[in-house]
Amino acid sequence: GAGVSQSPRYKVAKRGQDVALRCDPISGHVSLFWYQQALGQGPEFLTYFQNEAQLDKSGLPSDRFFAERPEGSVSTLKIQRTQQEDSAVYLCASSYPGSSYEQYFGPGTRLTVT
Amino acid sequence: AQSVTQLGSHVSVSEGALVLLRCNYSSSVPPYLFWYVQYPNQGLQLLLKYTSAATLVKGINGFEAEFKKSETSFHLTKPSAHMSDAAEYFCAVSERGTASKLTFGTGTRLQVTL
């Protein structure tokens, strides 16, 4: 079956622009996670949804970052007034109850802020 | 708080040689442990996971890892390296029992030489 998909795969934004990154989880997956992976680093947790409820947003680095999942399926991560330090790969993962909540990752969106 | 330490940011082995990638974790309660592999410009793929069943866990592509509580370790091994194993490897930890965020190490880049 189809895996987790993310779009766009690459995004170049000028400093100060707003961007929106999309994640399509695996059908039926209740949980959805966003991670940020800086160059040469491991992914770092940003936020977590269970269905449409955002249960944990403790990893969002500033109030410029906002995520939503209004119908409990597709999720969008929005970054307002982008800064150079926002340049990273943004990974989305989904999981379902059981199987130890194994997370399935999408290919990521590489954001470059110039 | 949970954390993961991966010793060695770069490991180089000859084709056919043993692969050993080290991971130590810190957690106040018994965690779930994972190894993920990341190929260039791709998302993370699960190699194997420990969820409190057998302490020796076998994964895909001939990899295995052993959970050692006394050493708080979860090292990844493969008896014989193949050129296709060259990639970035991440150890991760999460809480048990609930859909929980992953905390990743900084990664180990595996190089396989002829």
Q: What single string gives the DSSP state of each residue in A36-78?
A: EE-TTS--EEEEEEETTEEEE-TT--STTEEEE-TTSS-EEEE
- Interchain CB distance below 8 Å, B49 and A102: yes
Q: How far apart are CA B108 and CA B59, in angstroms?
A: 18
At A97 the pLDDT is 73
Q: Of B85, B82, B1, whose CA–CA distance to B35 is shortest?
A: B85
What confidence tens digit (pLDDT) does each residue in B5-38 have?
Answer: 999 999 999 999 999 999 999 987 878 999 999 9
Rg (C-alpha) for chain A, rounded Å, is 13
CA–CA separation, B4 and B106 (whole Å)? 8
Are A43 and B106 inside 8 Å of each other by CB?
Answer: no
Chain A interface disruption, residue of B33, B35, B89, B102, most A CBs within 10 A: B102
Q: Do B107 and A100 touch (CB under 8 A)?
A: no
Low-confidence ranges of chain B (pLDDT < 50): none
pLDDT under 50: residue ranges of chain A: none
Using CB atoms, pick whichever of A35, A44, A102 lies closest to residue B46. Answer: A102
Residue-level pLDDT at A99: 60
Q: Do A108 and B43 touch (CB under 8 A)?
A: yes
pLDDT of residue B96: 78
Task: List CB contacts of A49: < 8 A, sequence separation 6 or more.
Answer: A31, A32, A33, A55, A67, A69, A72, A75
Backbone angles phi, psi at A28, to 5 degrees: 90, -10
Question: How many residues in total does chain A contain?
Answer: 114
